[in-house]
Amino acid sequence: MENQGLPRVLVFGLLGIILLFIFGSSMFITINPGQKGVLFKTLGDGLDKETIYGQGLHIVAPWNDMIVYDVKETETFEKMEVLSKNGLSIKIDLSIIHKPVNDRIGYLHDNIGTNYLEKIIKPAVRSVTREVIGDYLPEELYSTKREEIETEIYTKTQEIVSAKDIALPAIYIRDVTLPQTLRDAIEQKLKQEQEALEYDFKIQKAQKEAERKEIEANGISKFQRIVNQTITPQLLKWKGVEATQEISKSENSKVIVIGNGDGDLPIILGGQ
């Protein structure tokens, strides 16, 4: 009896080794950093949308399937040709930053699948961009309202994709290409506007300078009126006497003072 059991153990062992060799690669699943996984149970209830598998080694029954998603932020470039408000063709280059919502990848896989970029994000960006650009003139996109247009494209696209379990951190306008003649016209217009601003600045500066000179002249005029009202002949005579006294104290002067000068002021003679 014991001899009959030995071959059976060997058979099962060999069978196990063969199965491990055949299915081993599908049984051991490694999820790398920046990835998440969801499990599809072939012999069970199908896709387990609630259980999210993190990074590391996972053992999966060979009849089940682990679907791995990259959940890092990814940048995708999209080039389009759209029409502006006045019907002119504009080439625009966008940068789209996107990723799945980590704890919703089961629902994302069930509803859309791994190709969500082509199915959801790109169509949404194209549709919204055409709608938004159609409300603006080329010169607004080229210069004054570029940031406003970028924000509007992002906000409207984000509303669409967020309902699909997709995160959209940002959309950037990388480049805008207008027809050469239109670019030249816009640049000339901007140059003229800049020159007009400079001219207005010069006018304002001249007006300020005129106001300053007027205030200065009024101050001088007021000062002269005050001086004329306060200086009397008697004060002038007294100041003349004071000045004569100071001069007479000089060691290098020989002073002879004689009265009855102009205005009865002293006369100084012999100064050296």
**Mean pLDDT on 30-52:** 91
Residue 257 reports pLDDT greater than 70: no
Quote the pLDDT of residue 218. 82
User: 60-77 pLDDT, tens per residue?
Assistant: 888 889 999 999 999 999
Decide which of 51 and 19 is more confident: 51
Q: What's the gap between Cα 13 and its chain centre? A: 66
Both tokens of residue 181? 């003649």
**Range of 1-5, 51-55, 202-206, 267-271 with top mean pLDDT:** 51-55
Q: pLDDT (tens digit, 9 = 90+) per residue, 154-196?
A: 999 999 999 999 999 999 999 888 767 666 666 677 667 677 7
What is the rounded CA–CA span in Å between residue 225 and residue 170?
71
- pLDDT class of 268 with cuts at 50, 70, 90: low
pLDDT digits (tens, 9 = 90+) for 247-256: 666 665 555 4
Domain 74-178 CATH class label: alpha beta
Residue 146: pLDDT band with limits 50, 70, 90: confident
Share of residues in the chain with pLDDT > 70 (%):
69
Can you tell me the mean pLDDT for 138-146? 79
**Tokens found for residue 21:** 């060799």
When comparing pLDDT for 54 and 11, which is higher? 54
Q: With 60 as the cut, is the pLDDT of residue 270 above it?
A: no
The crossing angle, in degrees rounded to 10, of helices 122-133 and 146-162 is 140
What pLDDT shows up at residue 26? Answer: 64
pLDDT at residue 267 tops 60: no
Average pLDDT, the chain: 80
Measure the CA–CA gap between 173 and 92, rounded to whole angstroms. Answer: 7
pTM: 0.59
pLDDT of the residue at 50:
92
Task: Report the share of the chain in percent with pLDDT over 90.
Answer: 39
Residue 219 makes CB contacts below 8 A (sequence gap 6+) with none
pLDDT for 182 equals 66
How many other C-beta atoms can be found within 10 angstroms of the C-beta atom of residue 156? 17
- CA dist., res. 173 & res. 184, Å (int): 21
> Is pLDDT of 88 > 80?
yes
Q: Residue 35: what pLDDT?
A: 93
Of the two residues 191 and 131, the one the predictor is more confident about is 131
Question: What b-and-e string marks burial along 240-272, b requiring 16 or more CB atoms within 10 Å of the CB?
Answer: beeebeeeeeeeeeebeeeeeeeeebbebeeee
